[in-house]
Amino acid sequence: MKLHPVILRLLPEDLRLRGLARLQAQSRRAREALALSCEASGVSLGPLEKGDRNAPLPFRGTFWSLSHKPRFVAAVVGPVPIGIDIEEITPRTEGLLDYIASTAEWALADLSWETFFRFWTAKEAVLKTVGVGLAHLTKARIHAILDPDNLIVAYASKLWAVRHFRFQDHIVSLTHDGHEITWNLVLEPHVLDNPVPVPPQPQA
């Protein structure tokens, strides 16, 4: 099965919200992205349930993952455990560099905020795939960088293939387990934003 991750931007009215209301809007929008990923993948999900540590539970063999940030959200479904993470590439405090990766990992790539978020999102995607949270961040290691869009993370005695997608100062990382990927970046209003009214049916 091909993977169809979907990236949506927040609706203009959601951008005006703050605090919990904004977080709820992001979460709602991420679920719209998930519905689109289902549509593109030809699968359906039942109620979105969570298990230990708030990890998404699969529905009849379909796994799902989502991520929501202040301006964009990303979501994906797949036939195997899967993890997606999106971040805006923006300078952070330098103290975080040691938190995200070791000296040996940093030696694998140029030191930049782009690399920082590449590593961060790749590790988060893997930790989401396994269903554990950020507490395990230091146990996940960048094992190899294959090319600008692909790297390998080592975690829990396994190697995890991660693919990146970049757009508008954002980076998305996705664990793919060898599956083909079609990225769907929806910047224009989608049918979900403007539902088309169903015309009245002719009376018999």
Ligand X SMILES: CC(C)(COP(=O)(O)OP(=O)(O)OC[C@H]1O[C@@H](n2cnc3c(N)ncnc32)[C@H](O)[C@@H]1OP(=O)(O)O)[C@@H](O)C(=O)NCCC(=O)NCCS
**Residue 156 engages ligand X in binding (rule: CB under 6 A):** no
> Minimum distance between the CB of residue 6 and ligand X, rounded to whole angstroms?
14
Closer CB to ligand X, 43 or 130, in the complex: 130
Options 57, 59, 131, 152; binder of ligand X; rule CB under 6 A: 131
Lookup: tokens for 74: 């990303």
**Positive or negative CA dihedral for 3, 113, 152, 159?**
negative
Handedness of CA 102, 105, 110, 114 (dihedral sign): negative
Stretch 24-43 residues interacting with ligand X (CB under 6 A): 27, 30
Tokens of 89: 């590439």
User: Is residue 134 near ligand X by the rule CB under 6 A?
Assistant: yes
- Cβ proximity to ligand X: between 43 and 125 the closer is 125
CA angle 104, 151, 181 (to 5 degrees): 165
Min separation Cβ 77 and ligand X, Å: 12
Rg over CA atoms, the chain = 18
x/- mask, ligand X, residues 47-86, rule CB under 6 A, reads ------xxxx---------xxx----------------x-
Exposure class string for 22-39: b at 16+ Cβ within 10 A, else e = beebbeebbbbbbebbbb
Closer to ligand X by Cβ: residue 26 or 115: 26
Q: Which residues of the chain form contacts with ligand X (CB under 6 A)?
A: 27, 30, 53-56, 66-68, 85, 124, 127-128, 131-134
